[in-house]
């Protein structure tokens, strides 16, 4: 059996995307493999990913995680989509032909930072997959570029396409007491200078360049969409040391149908009695 480092070394001698494509996602050529390997390991260790699982990669970019999954999902399937057509085209040309169980799709969704001319607004976008399709869904640095209504819709779509009991892993810049204190420290990157509703952003002229969400807001929206919080792995972005990741990693489980309805009834009862804020 291959060890994990062997699996992630250079799957099937796949090529590395050219520098002009890597620049779009902000990754240097020498970091493409290491960053993808790290995300693969986090996904495997913290979500219980198995070789037979059906996986959805929201915002797949130029395949930095898919690159490592090709020799791991031996009995499963991988679907990825992205708003940048050049990135999807590279994956279709270089990964999909060697791995027929890997599929990549371009979606014409508007994002001011990555795809200004998209025809579909993120807050109204329906993922192009059937209900209850996937065992695992992951989003690496997607919600760091989406605003509130987009986050609400994507959360609902993750819940719709994830199988009951399935796991979703997503990354954020989470605002809480600890991270807010760091915003004023010299050298903290990214610098969230501006308020946008309850969110913090780095640039007024490009709000989706980098977005930070209050932790309690993230918890609430995910709960509303049928998720049970499993774990938060706080990241190094605000100066923490000995972390698993640069961004904050949020891992949730989709409640089963009986759990979901029981939770909805409970929440309604709590709101009626004044114990839960609307």
- CA–CA dist 145, 222 (Å, integer): 17
The answer to whether residues 32 and 154 belong to one domain is no
Domain presence at residue 119: no
Domain presence at residue 115: no
Looking at beta carbons, which pairs linking 15-21 to residues 24 or more positions away fall under 8 Å? 15/94, 17/62, 17/63, 17/87, 17/90, 17/94, 21/62, 21/86, 21/87, 21/90
The answer to whether residues 144 and 267 belong to one domain is yes
The answer to whether residues 74 and 149 belong to one domain is no
Helices (H), the chain: 4-7, 19-25, 29-47, 66-69, 85-94, 148-161, 177-182, 215-224, 257-272
The answer to whether residues 98 and 139 belong to one domain is no
The answer to whether residues 169 and 39 belong to one domain is no
The 10s digit of each residue's pLDDT in 225-277 is: 999 999 999 999 998 998 999 999 999 999 986 655 555 555 555 455 665 55
The answer to whether residues 156 and 240 belong to one domain is yes
- CA–CA dist 241, 236 (Å, integer): 6
The answer to whether residues 161 and 258 belong to one domain is yes
Domain presence at residue 111: no
Output the six-digit token pair for 31.
Answer: 């970091």
Domain presence at residue 198: yes
Domain presence at residue 161: yes
Output the six-digit token pair for 277.
Answer: 């804020």
Helix orientation angle between 215-224 and 148-161, rounded to the nearest 10 degrees: 40
pLDDT at residue number 188: 67
The answer to whether residues 158 and 21 belong to one domain is no
Q: Kindly report which listed range (8-22, 25-39, 169-183, 188-202) carries the lowest average pLDDT score.
A: 8-22
The answer to whether residues 181 and 59 belong to one domain is no
Q: Which of 106, 121, 139 is the last residue of a domain?
A: 106
Q: Which of 72, 106, 140 is the last residue of a domain?
A: 106
The answer to whether residues 40 and 75 belong to one domain is yes
Looking at the structure of the chain, the number of domains it has is: 2
**pLDDT of 77 strictly over 80:** yes
CATH number at residue 9: 3.40.50.150
Domain containing residue 242: 129-278
Q: pLDDT grade, residue 4 (50/70/90)?
A: very low
Domain presence at residue 117: no
The 10s digit of each residue's pLDDT in 108-162 is: 999 988 888 889 999 999 999 999 999 999 999 999 999 999 999 999 999 999 9
The 10s digit of each residue's pLDDT in 120-129 is: 999 999 999 9
Domain presence at residue 155: yes
Domain presence at residue 219: yes
The answer to whether residues 23 and 60 belong to one domain is yes
The answer to whether residues 9 and 65 belong to one domain is yes
């Amino acid at each position: 059996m291959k060890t994990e480092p062997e699996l992630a070394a250079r799957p099937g001698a796949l090529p590395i995307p050219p520098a002009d494509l890597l620049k779009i996602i902000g990754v240097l050529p020498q970091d493409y493999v290491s960053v993808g390997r790290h995300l693969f390991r986090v996904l495997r260790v913290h979500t219980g990913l198995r070789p037979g699982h059906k996986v959805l990669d929201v915002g797949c970019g130029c395949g930095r995680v898919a690159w490592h999954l090709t020799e791991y999902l031996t009995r499963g399937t991988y679907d990825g989509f992205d708003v940048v057509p050049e990135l999807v085209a590279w994956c279709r040309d270089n990964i999909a032909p060697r791995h027929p169980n890997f599929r990549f799709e371009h979606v014409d969704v508007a994002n001011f930072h990555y795809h200004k001319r998209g025809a579909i607004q993120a807050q109204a976008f329906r993922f192009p997959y059937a209900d209850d399709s996937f065992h695992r869904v992951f989003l690496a640095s997607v919600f760091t570029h989406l605003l509130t209504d987009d986050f609400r819709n994507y959360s609902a779509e993750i819940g719709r396409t994830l199988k009951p009991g399935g796991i979703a892993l997503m990354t954020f810049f989470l605002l809480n007491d600890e991270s807010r204190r760091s915003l004023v420290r010299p050298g903290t990157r990214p610098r969230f200078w501006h308020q946008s509703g309850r969110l913090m952003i780095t640039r007024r002229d490009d709000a989706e360049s980098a977005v930070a969400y209050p932790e309690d807001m993230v918890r609430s929206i995910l709960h509303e969409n049928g998720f049970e919080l499993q774990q938060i792995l706080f990241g190094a972005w605000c100066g923490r040391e000995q972390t698993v990741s640069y961004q904050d990693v949020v891992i949730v489980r989709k409640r089963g149908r009986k759990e979901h309805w029981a939770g909805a009834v409970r929440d309604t009862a709590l709101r009626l009695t004044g114990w839960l804020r609307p």
